[in-house]
Amino acid sequence: MRHEPINPQLFIENRKNFALRMERHSVAVFNSNDTMPTSADGTLPFVQHSDIYYLTGIDQEETILLLNPDSSQESNREILFIRETNEHLAVWEGEKLSKAQASEISGIKNVQWLSAFQSQFRGAVLQSNNIYLNTNEFKNIATPVQMRDDRFREQCMSQYPLHTYKRSAPILHELRAIKSDIEVALIRQACTITEKGFRRILKYVKPGVYEYEIEAEFAHEFIKNRSRGFAYQPIIASGKDSCILHYVKNDKVCHDGDVLCLDVGAEYAGYNADMTRTIPVNGRFTQRQRDVYDAVLRVLRQACTLLSVGSNFEEYNKTIGEIMTEELIDLKLLKRKDVRNQNPERPLYKKYFMHGTSHHLGLNVHDYGHYSTSFAAGMVFTVEPGIYIPEESIGIRLENDIVITENGFIDLMDSIPIEADEIEYLMSKRKK
């Protein structure tokens, strides 16, 4: 692994907290993601399922976790099953984790080869009433791809039709929304690596460079600092494309006078950063660009203070809308008279700021967490307001990652340049 070892106490506590929320006489099973094919004999790089990683720290394919908290045998209350290495695998892929290595990473004492799973699972199921299985219950997502968890669920319900089936997802959405100190430290490290990438490109960007060259500069810095790379597909959008929210072609040349929207983040140890900065390609904002930039920054500053214990997304988004409306009036993009007469269900500010301001962040860039519950200490959110004016080829978005505390918030990106003056100063130091 590229990253420093993680304290296994994180995974021990995560399993303990999950088990405490299970009904009595139950088992739970978590599967790794599949290795996804491309074509012929090609495969995509393996990406571990964030749930089994959250509970074990194991980043290896074909891994299974079995939880059986009420087992009469203490050693069988947590069993980790891993792929057994062999001479062929060792030659072609390198050795897989040993039992001792998997135990050290996860804190699970009982580690067995994958071939033992079916017999161990059957023994546990026949002494249980309920089976907890995993499904993707992230909002607004309906994946057409059948994953390992899906196939296992069908197999399990066919073999054990008289058991009661329970959903693991609601428990995980509750637990994973609150980050431990160890998790916050890992996210902060991802933010630190992201900062290094941003400072690198401030010395590099100038008229005539291509967006993909900037992407390469980020990738170099991320990987050099023990990251696997980007936390998500990076957005390097210049000129009019800065107004496209999910622009990922990154294939245009950056022109003098353009703004450049950079929505990038590094991954570290499975955890993610999510940063957006908008900079002037030539190193100096025009007055209009600067006015829009400062407006967005003011909204970001105020939004951070609104993410406090006991508040909620409904109140938060309503207030952000009011703040953004005032900024758009000052920029002469909206008229106060029109705002007074607007349809409350279709506020006018959404013409220029059409996306949400915040989402949970963690093992997934859009991480687990209910959006109907109140904010609580330990939640990590992005804060990413933006103003997009396609007719002026100006798209300004700014984004920091913050953690809510009992006494306010901590900005995990507070050392990353964001003030326009500082960005212009740092860009003035780049090689000509």
Active-site position among 288, 336, 355, 370? 355
Identify whether the C-beta of residue 302 lies closer than 8 Å to the C-beta of residue 365: no
Active-site position among 83, 163, 366, 392? 366
Tell me if residue 267 falls in helix, strand or coil.
strand
* Catalytic residue list contains 366: yes
* Catalytic residue list contains 246: yes
Identify whether the C-beta of residue 266 lies closer than 8 Å to the C-beta of residue 227: yes
Active-site position among 188, 359, 367, 368? 359
Evaluate the CA torsion angle 330, 334, 340, 344 in order and state its sign.
Answer: negative
* Catalytic residue list contains 370: no
Active-site position among 88, 246, 340, 346? 246
Helix (H) or strand (E) holding 30: strand 26-31
Amino acid at 101: Q
* Catalytic residue list contains 34: no
Active-site position among 61, 62, 399, 401? 399
* Catalytic residue list contains 367: no
Amino acid at 313: F
For 50-71, b/e burial (b = at least 16 CB within 10 A) is bbbbbbbbbbbbbbbbbbbbbb
351 contacts: CB under 8 Å, gap ≥ 6: none
Tell me if residue 192 falls in helix, strand or coil.
helix
Identify whether the C-beta of residue 334 lies closer than 8 Å to the C-beta of residue 310: no
* Catalytic residue list contains 397: yes
Identify whether the C-beta of residue 12 lies closer than 8 Å to the C-beta of residue 22: no
How far apart CA 265 and CA 222 sit, in angstroms, is 9
Residue 130 sits at φ, ψ, to 5 deg, of -125, 150
Active-site position among 51, 211, 241, 384? 384
* Catalytic residue list contains 399: yes
Evaluate the CA torsion angle 216, 222, 228, 231 in order and state its sign.
Answer: negative
Identify whether the C-beta of residue 240 lies closer than 8 Å to the C-beta of residue 261: no
* Catalytic residue list contains 78: no
Strands 110-113 and 78-82 come out as parallel
Q: Which of 67, 89, 71 is nearest to 80 (CA)?
A: 67
Active-site position among 51, 228, 388, 401? 388
Active-site position among 274, 327, 367, 401? 274
165 contacts: CB under 8 Å, gap ≥ 6: 130, 131, 132, 133, 157
How far apart CA 406 and CA 53 sit, in angstroms, is 28
* Catalytic residue list contains 388: yes
Active-site position among 263, 267, 327, 367? 263
For 238-256, b/e burial (b = at least 16 CB within 10 A) is bbbbbbeeebeebebebee
The residues carrying an active-site annotation are 41, 246, 263, 274, 355, 359, 366, 384, 388, 397, 399
